[in-house]
Amino acid sequence: MQRESVKPAPFIYHDPQSRADLHDLLARLENTKLLAGGQSLMPMLNMRIVAPDHVIDLNKMPGMDGIAIGGDHITIGAMTRQANLHDSPDIKEHLPIMIAALDHVGHFQTRSRGTIGGSCCHLDPAAELPALCSLYDAEFDVSGPNGARKVAAQDWFQGYLQSALAEDEVLESIRVPLWPAGATYGFSEYARRRGDFAIAGAAALFAWRFDATIDRAAIVIFGVAPDPVRLRELERDLIGRRLDGEAIHTSAVAAKRIEAMSDPYVSGDYRRRLAGIMVERALTAAAQRAEMAA
Amino acid sequence: MSARYFGAAVPRLEDPRLLVGRGRYVDDISLPGMLHAAFLRAQVAHGQIRGVDAAGARTMPGVAAIYTMADFALIAQGPMPPMAPHPLIKIPMTYHPLAMDEVHHVGEAIAVVLADTRQQAEDAANAIHLDVEDLPAVADATAALAADAPQVHSGRDSNLIGTLRGGFGNIDAAFAKADHVLTETFSMHRGGCHSMECRGVIAAPDALSEELTIYTSSQSPYMVRRHLAQYLKRDESTLRVIAPDVGGGFGPKGNVYPEEFAIALAALTIARPVKWIEDRSEHFVATTQQRGQVWTLDVAFTREGRMSAVRGRCIHDNGAYAPYGLILPATALASFPGPYALEALDIAIEVVLTNLVPTTPVRGAARPCTAFVLERLADRIARHLNLAREDVRRRSFITADQMPYTTGMKARDGSPISYDSGDYTRALDLALDKIDAAGFPARRAAAAARGKLLGLGIASCVEDTGLAPFEGATVRITPAGKVVIATGAASQGQGHRTVLAQIAADALSVDIADIAVDAGDTGKFPLGISTIASRIAVTAGSSVELAARKVRNKALKAASFILEAAENDLEIESGVVRVVGVPGMQVSLGEIARALSGSAGLLLPGHLEPDLAATAYFESNALTFAYGSNTCEVEIDPATGDARLTRYVVAHDCGRLINPLVVDGQIRGGVVHGIGNALYERMVYDEIGQPLSTNYGEYLLPLATEMPDIEIHHIQTPSPRNPIGVKGAGEGGTIPAAACVISAIQDALGAGAPFIGEHPVSPERITDWLDAMS
Amino acid sequence: MSDTRRITLIVNGRSRTADVETRVHLADFLRQSLGLTGTHLGCEHGVCGACTIIVNGRAARSCLMLAVQANGAVIETVESLGDIDALSPLQKAFSEHHALQCGFCTSGMLMSLEAFLRANPHPDVAAIREAISGNICRCTGYQGIVEAALVAAAERRGAA
């Protein structure tokens, strides 16, 4: 049973500065924790919710951060700080939805350290950045002693606080495929207080045809189920339709049908209700952006 | 005497040190040879301790000792002395410094580990093998009253500590003749104080003397000294208890805690200084909480909407112990009838044990609960009669010409409670006027056009302040010409140093920069009570005024002798006594102090007693009553149930303001605490007493983004009951705030909504009500 | 068995070298090893903000960093802002607008706002409230802090 504490249990600290060293440590050591920005792991260490024998700090690793634009995608190093994403002109141009989401990720004092890779490996159900990875069908580049592999977003999420990362692997980067020019987004979440983990949120992307009907859609709900939930059936149904009041209403109704978690503070019913409202708001925002662009 | 400082918004003397990071809180103090303590605490809400095996833990790196209660037997034993004995408590229900045989709530301390670092102490605490047999626990006060409920303390035959009963008038007659009677139930949830500094203690025994020095983050250093001395069977003179800078108190730091005793016992046993700093996870399970009450009340009223009588019952959750006696339920009771001129009242408060952290006063100390039920009843009457809520209040208030008004209730010492002064309708009208109640319908319509529900909230309150018996102060002028005030009144951020210095500066006609204040150190002043119950401005403030007047008179007498001038011809200005109209004929207060400090072989001027100093204890023989009305606007998003304060107005009368900056700060902080109670703060336990809210992701404190600006308007009716005309201001912000917010939510939801008699209110709950209406 | 490292860092303009146990967080290191007790610990799980300092120019929670991670870093704490006789404009505004009572959250508030105002010279009330939403104050109700930040921002603009 966990006892009251806010000082970490003893561990051995490692700060590898090369892939070889990192992979060697991952291959060799048992009961390890990877330390990225520390905004989730450090509280858990302080409260002794986790007590690893070894902490492997990724902050000295070369080449694990940065934003690179490819032709049709953007690659973000796992150790890229949330603050750097927030301030990046590239992100602003190519992934403006991420800026909108980052405004809700903790506070500027935690975004200064927190990383996208850390968020995507910790996988709090309400975390915004993993939800965006799901929304974009991002690809997770992973390395380990046995080489590198790529994990599709739909395989990355393995349940509550559980990613597809193996014990001896590290997340290197996230490859986000870009949507065509003219695509618009909507993002909405509800939390009791600024910076809190959302009770529910939704993000949506739409690519448009010349006649203002939907060419492609992606809608994700977060905070409601253990993993981000893509509304894939709805996304298919929306293709060829206009994003009008009726379509938005249909979408909100679909959102309210997803499985939802209950906890001592918030019921599943309420989360479902919010899921519908957040989808409605995200879709409305996406439609408005499309209208303004037209 | 000039009023150069009294009443002025003087920036605080406390600030510069705190702003540059040179505050000195308990954790900032480090003593040579000091060990760090960690407690092993109960992980079950009720259990029998069968064994504590620390053999392995004792050999861990850095560990100096691990103690249980048995290890202290040679120094002291038994339960701690009760802080406020009450005839209904036949057997004191206080903690042992460390639990003996049975634990009664999660977080009760069982063993203490001393080590070179806190980290090592925690390592060892985690390595202790604790064998505790689970016993049935009860986490709900109503459930605890059931005949077959588990006993919170094995061996007791009931979880009911006792029933406090109070009232006045002929209750049956009042109800019999009433035009209308309604019954409502109310429930207020537990929350914590959550001072940003947790508790902390250092105990430092002096190897060369008998003296034991305790630094503690406490509102009550003198109570710690008194009770610890009693427990250790020592003379109080061998204990020095210091409350250094304290990072907020809000009530719970007014208690004497088992950790304070355990750390003292541990330090005496190992003969080294020992430090324990409560961490936030401990704060959730070991610092007292408040507000868990369930009420069922009948209210009688006339067809015109005058509230005439209230009767009913309260179930008060006292937690697993009664360290502070029955102070909370007694305060809840004594807070009736609030601002209302009731003809009759009959209230029974059942004080019930549960296997949870004990409840003791948190900012407002049960007054917010009483204000909540009375204010909700006033709103309920208005709704029933389709009257304006303010009209019910205007018709029910005690009027200004009824002052002083004897309520019919009794104070803690048994004396009748009498409101000294006030004009409740004036405060209500002011709050309504300042929020522009007349313009509210238009604002509501504008919000509706945006799809939002806007509600106007109203709540009033009366607050007893200046609790008996006394605080005291010594005012001394040193030979350097500086003024030093020593007082027992400890401070947790209220700005006492500044306001006491303001009073003394005016009384002595000196510059405030020349005044220093020593407070909260039993080594610097002989007696003190506690910084609780909004009492320091009245008690310590008046004491400083009285002592400073004596010093002034003594200085004039001495100067009269030194300058060979009549006292009537003297004036004091900027620390210098002058003969009026005779330039150059003057002597400074410092010079007088030097003369009164004496020189070998010389007589003192005017045969005065040595020392340019005086001590006064202002005895607060009768409470003085602050009051006020609050209004606010809450905007609800009907889609999510989100409720947000958009405006908040306070009309408040706490008598003469010593420092408006400080008073406004007290009120604003208090209001925000009340908003937290109304909307955010929920301490959740499961049915067997496991706390589920144990961090700041789960327990929601008010943040800057959700809080409104709070507009404050003062009425200044001088209190006739103390020499400086003040009333307390520390809790007046909190007391009506939750009632005001809930009143606004009810108003926003509209006529068809269910009656709201609870807090905190979550967005989900609001959507439940909205759904029930549609 | 304790795992220690030698670290060198710049704290408030001064180079400091020390041996630290690797599990010690930066706030404990600043307070205990360097004696900089102006940085306070209110929750040690990264929510209350009392331990906020500036690390390499950015505000961060010092309870959510290991001291060993600060090797090579440039750290600013509340002790760097001003002196008792020479308060910084922000500190002065805090006093004048009664933005502090017990003083415990104050260091973190000041460091958050210091970092925020450097990057945002023209903040409005909403932006300031958001900037301090990661710092909990139980005493003031926040209003005085917001007023102080507005005044300090104006003063900084004037001085610049």
Query: Percent of chain A having pLDDT more than 70?
Result: 99
Q: To 5 degrees, how large is the angle CA B491–CA B493–CA B499?
A: 70
What is the C-alpha separation between B348 and B346, in angstroms, rounded?
A: 7
Q: Do A112 and C65 touch (CB under 8 A)?
A: no
What is the C-alpha separation between A203 and A185, in angstroms, rounded?
A: 7
pLDDT at C160: 62
CA B260 to mean position of chain CA atoms? 19
Say if the ipTM goes beyond 0.95.
Answer: yes
Average pLDDT over residues C112-139: 98
Instruction: Determine the straight-line distance between the first and last CA of chain A, rounded to whole angstroms.
Output: 59
Report yes or no: B593 and B605 within 8 Å, Cβ to Cβ: no
Residue C64 in contact with partner chain A when CB distance is under 8 A: yes
Integer CA distances (angstroms), B581 to B509, B561, B584, in order? 18, 18, 9
**C23 Cα to chain A: minimum distance (Å):** 6
Residues in chain A, pLDDT under 70? 1-2
What is the C-alpha separation between B85 and B468, in angstroms, rounded?
A: 16
CA A255 to mean position of chain CA atoms? 19
pLDDT at A2: 52
Structure token pair of residue C139: 């005493």
Radius of gyration of chain C (CA): 16
**A20 Cα to chain B: minimum distance (Å):** 33
What is the C-alpha separation between B219 and B224, in angstroms, rounded?
A: 10
pLDDT at B86: 87
pLDDT at B89: 87
Question: What are the φ/ψ torsions at residue A86 (nearest 5 degrees)?
Answer: -60, -35
Report yes or no: A109 and A194 within 8 Å, Cβ to Cβ: no
Q: How many CB pairs under 8 A join A and C?
A: 97
Select the residue from B10, B19, B118 to test the C interface by mutation, using most C Cβ atoms within 10 A.
B19
Half-sphere CA count of B470, side-chain side, radius 13 A: 14
Q: What residues does B587 pair with on adjacent strands?
A: B577
Residue A265 in contact with partner chain B when CB distance is under 8 A: yes
What is the C-alpha separation between B302 and B341, in angstroms, rounded?
A: 13
**C147 Cα to chain A: minimum distance (Å):** 20
Write out chain A residues lying below 8 Å of C116, CB-based.
108
Query: pLDDT band at C1, cuts 50/70/90?
Result: low
Q: Do A6 and B280 touch (CB under 8 A)?
A: yes
Q: Do C25 and A46 touch (CB under 8 A)?
A: yes
SS (H, E, C) B409-453: EECCCCCEEEECCCCHHHHHHHHHHHCCHHHHHHHHHHHHHCCCE
Write out chain A residues lying below 8 Å of B764, CB-based.
266-267, 270
Report yes or no: B678 and B665 within 8 Å, Cβ to Cβ: no
Write out chain C residues lying below 8 Å of A55, CB-based.
22, 66
Write out chain B residues lying below 8 Å of A270, CB-based.
763-764, 767
Q: Do B705 and A193 touch (CB under 8 A)?
A: yes
**B420 Cα to chain A: minimum distance (Å):** 42
SS (H, E, C) chain A: CCCCCCCCCCCEEECCCCHHHHHHHHHHCCCEEEECCCCCHHHHHHCCCCCCCEEEECCCCCCCCCEEECCCEEEEECCCEHHHHHHCHHHHHHCHHHHHHHCCCCCHHHHCCCEHHHHHHHCCCCCHHHHHHHHCCCEEEEEECCEEEEEEHHHHECCCCCECCCCCCEEEEEEEECCCCCCEEEEEEECCCCCCCCCEEEEEEEEECCCCCEEEEEEEEECCCCCCEECHHHHHHHCCCCCCHHHHHHHHHHHCCCCCCCCCCCCHHHHHHHHHHHHHHHHHHHHHHHHHHC
What is the C-alpha separation between C140 and B661, in angstroms, rounded?
A: 11
Select the residue from C53, C142, C150, C151 to test the B interface by mutation, using most B Cβ atoms within 10 A.
C142
pTM (2 d.p.) = 0.97
Select the residue from C96, C104, C106, C125 to test the B interface by mutation, using most B Cβ atoms within 10 A.
C104
Q: How many CB pairs under 8 A join B and C?
A: 177
Write out chain B residues lying below 8 Å of C40, CB-based.
25, 196-197, 247
Structure token pair of residue B663: 């008073």
What is the C-alpha separation between A3 and B426, in angstroms, rounded?
A: 53
Q: Do C68 and A55 touch (CB under 8 A)?
A: no
Where is B500: in which H helix or E strand? helix B496-508
Structure token pair of residue B288: 């007292």
Residue A190 in contact with partner chain B when CB distance is under 8 A: yes
The number of beta carbons lying within 10 Å of the beta carbon of residue C19 is 9
Could you tell me which chain C residue has the CA closest to the CA of B279? C43
Could you tell me which chain C residue has the CA closest to the CA of A43? C45
Where is B227: in which H helix or E strand? helix B221-232
Write out chain B residues lying below 8 Å of A284, CB-based.
none
Structure token pair of residue B573: 């200005």
Where is B173: in which H helix or E strand? helix B171-176
What is the C-alpha separation between A90 and B6, in angstroms, rounded?
A: 59
Q: Do A107 and C69 touch (CB under 8 A)?
A: no
**C25 Cα to chain B: minimum distance (Å):** 11
pLDDT at B91: 82
Could you report the average pLDDT of every consecutive run of 10 residues in chain B (774 residues)? 85 97 98 98 98 97 98 96 88 94 98 98 97 98 97 95 96 98 97 97 93 98 98 97 98 97 98 98 97 97 98 98 94 97 98 98 96 98 98 98 95 89 97 98 98 98 93 97 96 95 97 96 95 91 97 97 96 95 95 95 92 95 94 98 98 96 97 98 96 96 98 96 93 96 98 96 98 90
What is the C-alpha separation between B298 and B377, in angstroms, rounded?
A: 9
Q: Which of B493, B670, B710 sits opposite C102 (nearest CB)?
A: B493
For B242-259, give one letter per residue: b (16+ CB within 10 A) or e: bbbbbbbbbbbbbbbbbb
Write out chain B residues lying below 8 Å of C133, CB-based.
703-705
**C73 Cα to chain A: minimum distance (Å):** 12
DSSP string over B459-495: EEEEEEES-SSEEEEEEEE-TTS-EEEEES---SSS-
Write out chain A residues lying below 8 Å of B119, CB-based.
7-8, 10
Q: Is the dihedral of CA B55, B57, B58, B60 positive or negative?
A: positive
Instruction: Give alpha helix (H) positions in C43-142.
Output: 89-96, 106-119, 125-131
Residue B493 in contact with partner chain C when CB distance is under 8 A: yes
Instruction: Give alpha helix (H) positions in B526-578.
Output: 536-563
Q: Is the dihedral of CA A144, A146, A148, A150 positive or negative?
A: negative
Half-sphere CA count of C123, side-chain side, radius 13 A: 27
Write out chain A residues lying below 8 Å of B60, CB-based.
none
Q: What residues does B352 pair with on adjacent strands?
A: B160, B317
Among C150, C60, C40, C45, which residue's Cα sits nearest to residue C106? C40
Q: Which of A13, A39, A46 sits opposite C22 (nearest CB)?
A: A13
CA dihedral B137, B142, B143, B144 (to 10 degrees): 50
Structure token pair of residue B599: 């020189």
Q: Do C91 and B19 touch (CB under 8 A)?
A: yes
Integer CA distances (angstroms), B82 to B261, B355, B601, in order? 13, 19, 52
Q: Do C1 and A47 touch (CB under 8 A)?
A: no
For B77-89, give one letter per residue: b (16+ CB within 10 A) or e: eebbbbbeebebb
Question: What are the φ/ψ torsions at residue C101 (nearest 5 degrees)?
Answer: -120, -80
Report the mean per-residue pLDDT for chain A.
96
B interface with A, Cβ–Cβ < 8 A, is 38-41, 43, 107, 118-119, 122-123, 125-126, 279-282, 285, 639-640, 642, 680, 682, 684, 686, 692, 695, 697-698, 700, 703, 705-706, 762-764, 767
Report yes or no: A202 and A282 within 8 Å, Cβ to Cβ: yes
Q: Which of C5, C45, C68 sits opposite A6 (nearest CB)?
A: C45
Where is B115: in which H helix or E strand? strand B109-115
Select the residue from A82, A109, A111 to test the C interface by mutation, using most C Cβ atoms within 10 A.
A109
Q: Tell me whether residue A44 is exposed, middle or buried, using C-beta atoms within 10 angstroms of its C-beta: 0 to 12, 13 to 18, 19 or more.
A: middle
Residue C126 in contact with partner chain A when CB distance is under 8 A: no
What is the C-alpha separation between B504 and B485, in angstroms, rounded?
A: 8
What is the C-alpha separation between A257 and A250, in angstroms, rounded?
A: 11
Instruction: Categorise residue B472: left if φ over 0, alpha if ψ from -120 to 50, beta otherwise.
Output: beta
Structure token pair of residue C78: 């509340």
Q: Which of A10, A47, A277 sits opposite B281 (nearest CB)?
A: A47
Cis preceding linkage at B87, omega within 30: no
Whose tokens are 């500036």? That residue is C54
pLDDT at B526: 95
Write out chain A residues lying below 8 Å of C59, CB-based.
108-109, 112
Write out chain B residues lying below 8 Å of C43, CB-based.
280, 695-696
pLDDT at A1: 43
Select the residue from C133, C135, C136, C146 to test the A interface by mutation, using most A Cβ atoms within 10 A.
C133
Residue B494 in contact with partner chain C when CB distance is under 8 A: yes
| Amino acid at site B105 | H
pLDDT at A198: 97
Integer CA distances (angstroms), B214 to B167, B205, B221, B482, B678, in order? 43, 9, 9, 28, 37
DSSP state of B218: -
pLDDT at B38: 98
**B761 Cα to chain A: minimum distance (Å):** 11
